[in-house]
C-alpha cells in the first residue's frame, strides 16, 4: 500500500513546559496528520536521553523518556495540583533548554510520585503494580542504575565504587535499600510515560496513522543496558570499551563519525540465541507499528575503532552477525515490520542481506544530485517499490537550508553549485518553493512510503535543523515548532499531493 507521512520527534511539539510532551499538542498533531491524509508518523528513539541529549545515546533501550511526560495529564490524573504547573518557568518557546527542563521536571515528577504513593486510594495503584511486575526484567535494572548514577553525582557506571559497578550481590542489596525511595519515583515516572504514550498511540492508530519507531544498532556505554549486561560488550576489566563504533569519513564528516558506543560480543549473543535482541525488538514493537533499524549495514559488517582513538579514521570493517540474528528474531517473533537504514557506504553484501529478509531500504532526495548523479541509483526514477523515501532525515539540513547552502565539511562551493544546477534540471524548477518541489518529487516516486520532516512541510530554514552529525553543542535535538506553524493550509496542500499520487489516508483506513 502506498502511503506518506511526517517525521517529527515528540520533543519538538509546542509546550509551555520547555519541551514537547505527550499532552494536548501531541493529539493536535495527530489530528493534523489525519487532515493531511497522512498514514505514517515517524519518531526518533523514545528512550531517556543521556550524553549530548541525543536520542541515540540513551540511558536505556527499554525505558521511556520521562521528559516527555505531560504535566497537564499528571494534573488530570490527580497526582499534581494545578498550582504546581501554573508557575512554570518562562522556558524558550522555539527550542529545548535541556538542562533547565531536566531540573524542573525532575522536581515535578518527584512531587507527583510522592502524592501518588501517599494516596493509597488512587485508582491507578493496581495498574502501577501490574506495570512493575510485567516490566521488572528491565525496569529494576534501569531504575537502580539511574538512582545510583544520581547518587554518584552523574558519574558513568564504570567510575562507581567497585561493588556496585561490578554488580556484587551485597553491594546491590545495600544500594537498593539506601535508594528505595528514588527508585520508586523512577518506576512511577516510567509508568506515567508508558501510560501516556500508549494512549497517544491508540489515538493515532484509531485514525489510521501508524508509527515508525527507531532502534539504534548500538546502545550507550553509560547505560543500564551495558551496566546490567557487561558480558555482552567488548569491555576491559575496568569497564572501558576496548573498541567503539562509528563510520569512516563520509558525506557528513571528513574524519568520519566516532560514535563511541561499545561494540557487541556478537559470538556470545549468538550462543544465547540473540535473546537480548529479541527482547529489545519485542519491547519496541509494543510501542510502535514499524521499526526503523538505524545503521543496518552494521549487521553485515561494522566499522570498529580502537577505544583510544580520537577520530573514526583509523578503524576497520569487521563481519557482523548477518542472517543469524534476523533468523532468530523471525523464529521468536514471526515476521517483523522493519525498515533498514541502508544509507552511506553500502555494499552488495549489505543489500543482499536486506533483500533476503524482505526489509525495505531508505532513499534520501538530498543525496540524489551529487557527482555522477545521472549514473547512480540515487535519483527518484531509479528507486524501487520497497523503499521508504525522504526529502531529508533528522541528520540532514532542512530542504530550504540544503538548497541555500554554499559549502560544507565534505563539499566545496563548486561541487555544491554543480549539484544545484543538476537538481534544477532534474526537478524542472527555478528553486521557488523548493521544499514543495522536493515533497512532490518524493510523493510521485514509486517508493511505497514517502516521509517528510515537518520542517520541510512548513518550509523552515537551517535554524530548524534537528541534528548535525559529528557536531556537539546546544543546537542539536533542540528544535521545536510553534503552534501557529502547524496550519490547515499546509495540511490541505500535503493532502492534495497524497491524493494525486495515491498515498492518501481515507476514512476506511481508521480503526
Please say whether the dihedral angle defined by the alpha carbons of residues 339, 345, 351 and 352, taken in this order, is positive or negative: negative
Dist. CA 269–CA 218, nearest whole Å: 14
Check if 300 is active-site. Answer: no
Check if 24 is active-site. Answer: no
Inter-helix orientation angle 180-206/125-134, to 10°: 100
Dist. CA 190–CA 127, nearest whole Å: 12
Residue 118 in grid coordinates: 501517599
Q: CB-based contacts of 42: which residues, under 8 Å, 6+ apart?
A: 5, 6, 7, 8, 211, 212, 214, 292, 451
3-state helix/strand/coil string of 479-499: ECCCHHHCCHHHHHHHHHHHH
The catalytic position among 341, 397, 419, 456 is: 341
Q: CB-based contacts of 269: which residues, under 8 Å, 6+ apart?
A: 232, 276, 277, 321, 325
Beta strand pairing status for 257-262 and 243-247?
antiparallel
Phi-psi region of 18 (alpha: psi -120 to 50; beta: other; left: phi over 0): left
Nearest residue to 218 (alpha-carbon basis) of 187, 252, 193, 243? 243
The catalytic position among 214, 395, 397, 448 is: 395
| Sequence-ordered strand ranges (E) for 37-138 | 40-42
Dist. CA 442–CA 458, nearest whole Å: 16
The catalytic position among 214, 294, 304, 456 is: 294
3-class SS of residue 359: coil
Q: Give yes or no for a contact between 508 and 55, defined as CB atoms under 8 angstroms apart.
A: no
Q: CB-based contacts of 329: which residues, under 8 Å, 6+ apart?
A: 274, 277, 278, 281, 336
Q: Give yes or no for a contact between 505 and 34, defined as CB atoms under 8 angstroms apart.
A: yes
Residue 125 in grid coordinates: 495503584
Check if 327 is active-site. Answer: no
Dist. CA 339–CA 361, nearest whole Å: 6
List active site positions. Answer: 294, 341, 395
Amino acid at each position: 500500500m502506498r502511503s506518506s507521512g511526517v517525521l517529527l520527534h515528540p520533543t519538538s511539539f509546542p509546550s509551555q513546559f520547555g519541551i514537547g510532551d505527550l499532552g494536548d499538542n501531541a493529539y493536535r498533531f495527530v489530528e493534523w496528520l489525519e487532515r493531511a491524509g497522512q498514514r505514517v508518523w515517524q519518531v526518533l528513539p523514545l528512550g531517556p536521553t543521556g550524553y549530548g541529549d541525543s536520542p541515540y545515546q540513551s540511558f536505556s533501550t527499554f525505558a521511556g523518556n520521562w521528559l516527555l511526560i505531560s504535566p497537564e495529564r499528571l494534573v488530570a490524573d490527580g497526582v499534581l495540583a494545578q498550582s504546581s504547573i501554573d508557575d512554570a518557568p518562562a522556558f524558550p518557546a522555539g527550542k529545548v533548554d535541556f538542562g533547565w527542563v531536566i531540573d524542573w521536571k525532575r522536581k515535578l515528577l518527584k512531587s507527583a510520585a510522592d502524592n501518588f504513593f501517599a494516596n493509597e486510594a488512587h485508582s491507578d495503584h493496581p495498574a502501577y503494580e501490574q506495570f512493575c511486575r510485567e516490566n521488572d526484567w528491565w525496569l529494576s535494572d534501569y531504575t537502580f542504575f539511574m538512582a545510583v548514577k544520581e547518587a554518584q553525582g552523574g558519574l558513568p557506571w564504570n567510575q562507581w565504587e567497585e561493588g556496585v559497578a561490578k554488580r556484587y550481590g551485597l553491594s546491590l542489596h545495600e544500594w537498593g535499600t539506601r535508594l528505595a525511595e528514588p527508585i520508586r519515583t523512577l518506576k512511577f515516572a516510567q509508568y506515567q510515560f508508558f501510560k501516556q504514550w500508549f494512549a497517544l498511540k491508540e489515538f493515532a492508530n484509531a485514525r489510521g496513522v501508524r508509527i515508525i519507531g527507531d532502534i539504534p544498532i548500538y546502545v550507550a556505554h553509560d547505560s543500564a543496558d551495558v551496566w546490567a549486561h557487561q558480558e555482552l560488550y567488548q569491555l576491559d576489566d575496568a569497564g572501558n570499551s576496548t573498541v567503539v563504533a562509528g563510520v569512516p569519513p563520509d558525506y557528513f564528516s571528513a574524519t568520519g563519525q566516532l560514535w563511541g558506543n561499545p561494540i557487541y560480543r556478537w559470538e556470545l549473543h549468538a550462543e544465547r540465541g540473540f535473546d537480548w535482541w529479541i527482547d529489545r525488538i519485542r519491547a519496541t514493537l509494543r510501542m510502535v507499528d514499524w521499526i526503523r533499524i538505524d545503521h543496518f549495514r552494521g549487521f553485515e559488517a561494522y566499522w570498529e575503532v580502537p577505544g583510544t582513538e580520537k577520530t573514526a579514521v583509523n578503524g576497520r570493517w569487521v563481519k557482523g552477525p548477518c542472517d543469524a540474528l534476523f533468523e532468530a528474531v523471525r523464529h521468536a517473533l514471526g515476521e517483523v515490520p522493519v525498515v533498514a537504514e541502508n544509507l552511506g557506504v553500502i555494499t552488495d553484501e549489505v543489500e543482499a542481506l536486506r533483500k533476503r529478509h524482505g526489509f525495505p531500504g531508505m532513499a534520501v532526495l538530498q543525496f540524489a544530485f551529487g557527482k555522477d548523479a545521472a549514473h547512480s541509483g540515487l535519483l527518484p526514477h531509479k528507486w524501487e517499490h520497497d523503499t521508504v523515501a525522504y526529502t531529508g532525515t533528522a541528520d540532514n539540513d532542512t530542504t530550504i537550508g540544503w538548497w541555500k547552502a554554499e559549502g560544507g565539511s565534505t563539499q566545496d562551493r563548486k561541487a555544491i553549485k554543480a549539484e544545484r544546477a543538476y537538481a534544477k534540471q532534474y526537478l524542472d524548477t527555478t528553486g521557488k518553493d523548493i521544499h514543495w518541489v522536493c515533497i512532490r518529487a518524493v510523493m510521485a516516486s514509486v517508493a511505497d512510503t514517502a516521509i517528510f520532516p515537518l520542517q520541510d512541510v512548513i518550509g523552515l530554514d537551517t535554524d530548524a535543523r534537528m541534528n548535525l552529525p559529528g557536531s556537539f553543542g546546544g543546537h542539536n535535538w533542540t528544535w521545536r515548532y510553534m503552534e501557529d506553524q502547524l496550519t490547515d493550509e499546509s495540511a490541505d496542500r500535503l493532502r492534495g499531493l497524497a491524493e494525486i499520487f495515491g498515498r492518501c489516508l481515507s476514512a476506511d483506513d481508521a480503526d
